[in-house]
Amino acid sequence: MKKALAVCLVGLLVACGEKTTSETPKEPSKQNNASAPTGANSDAAAAFNEAQKKAQVVKPQPDMKVPLENYTALAQDQNDTWLTYLAVAYSDQKSDDKELLNLFSGKYYNEQDAFKKQELIPTELPPIKTTVEGYSKQRYYSMEFGKTNIAVNASPQIYNGYDFDSKSFRIIGAFDTNSTYANRQNVLLNFPQAPALAKLKVEEIEMAKRIEQLRASNSVHLRGKVYFFVTEVVQGNRVQAIPTYVQYDVYDKPSYFTSGSKQVASFVVKNEPSPQ
C-alpha cells in the first residue's frame, strides 16, 4: 500500500487424466501399488499440495439477492476519496497512522511545523479510522454516472439503432469491455466486462420508438447508477469490483445541457456475473 499509494498523496490533499489401455494387467494389485508414490518424497509432495490448497483464497462473490436499497450510496464529488477509503479498507497492506493522515487529512498533510502536525493527530486521526472501519464492513455500493463534477464517472452510450431481434439497444462506453476509473489520488476502480449490462432491453414498442427518435437526432443521454460489489484490492491501489445492476435513466438532451432535460424512461438491468 505504501508504494502503490505514494503517488496519491499530492493529487488530492494539496487541493483538498487417467490413461486408458486395452491391455489387461496380470497383477492388478501390484500395478496399483506401484503407481502410488511412497516414501519421504511423496510425503513432501502431499504436504506441498495441501499447503497450496490452503493458500488459494476464494474471492468473495456478490449475492444477487441483496436488495438495491441495501447498497450504500457513495458521496461523489470532484475528489471521490471514497475510492481511496475502499483501497485502504480492503488492501492486504495495512496503512499506519501517518499514512492515513497523509491520505485523508489535508490539514495534516499541508502543515509544515512538526509540533503542529503532532497536535493535529488527536482530532484528525479518529474520524479517519472510523470511516475506514465503516467501509471495511460493507462491500455493496452504488455510484451515479452521467452527471458533471464527479471524478469517477462511467459514460455508457446507446450505440446504433434498435435491434428488433433482441428488442434492445446496444450500450457502449461501459460494461461492453473491461472498464477502469480513477480518482485524483490515482486509485483505480476496475470493472470486468459485463455483456448483460451492455444491452438495454426495451420491449414496449412505443417507448422503443421514442428512444430511437432521440438517438437518431443525437439527443439521447444516459444517466443513472451502477451497483457493484467489492471483491479485493490488488497492487495497493486497484479496487476490483463486480457490477451487479445498472439503472439506466434515459434523458432527452445531451449531457452538455445543464438544464431543461427531461427523463423519458428508467430501466434496471441485472448482471449475470461469472466467478472471478
Q: Minimal CA–CA distance to 262: which of 199, 229, 220?
A: 220
Residues of the chain with pLDDT under 70: 1-42, 44-57, 255-258, 275-276
d(CA 236, CA 6): 10
Q: Residues 51-84: pLDDT tens digits?
A: 665 555 688 999 999 999 999 999 998 889 999 9
What is the Cα–Cα distance from 209 to 57, expressed in whole angstroms?
49
- pTM comes to 0.79
Tell me whether residue 63 is in a domain. no
In a domain, 178, yes or no: yes
Q: Let me know if residue 241 belongs to a domain.
A: yes
CA distances from 185 to 6, 121, 250 (A): 9, 22, 31
Three-state SS across 7-70?
Answer: CHHHHCCCCCCCCCCCCCCCCHHHHHHHHCCCCHHHHHHHHHHHHHHHHCCCCCCCCCCCCHHH
Q: How far apart are CA 195 and CA 223, in angstroms?
A: 19
Q: How many structural domains compose the chain? A: 1
Domain assignment of residue 224, yes or no: yes
Which tens digit of pLDDT belongs to each residue from 208-220?
999 999 999 999 9
> Residue 213 is part of which domain span?
68-270
The bridge status of strand 72-73 relative to strand 140-145 is parallel
Q: Is residue 31 part of a domain?
A: no
CA atoms within 13 A of residue 226's CA, in its CB half-sphere = 27
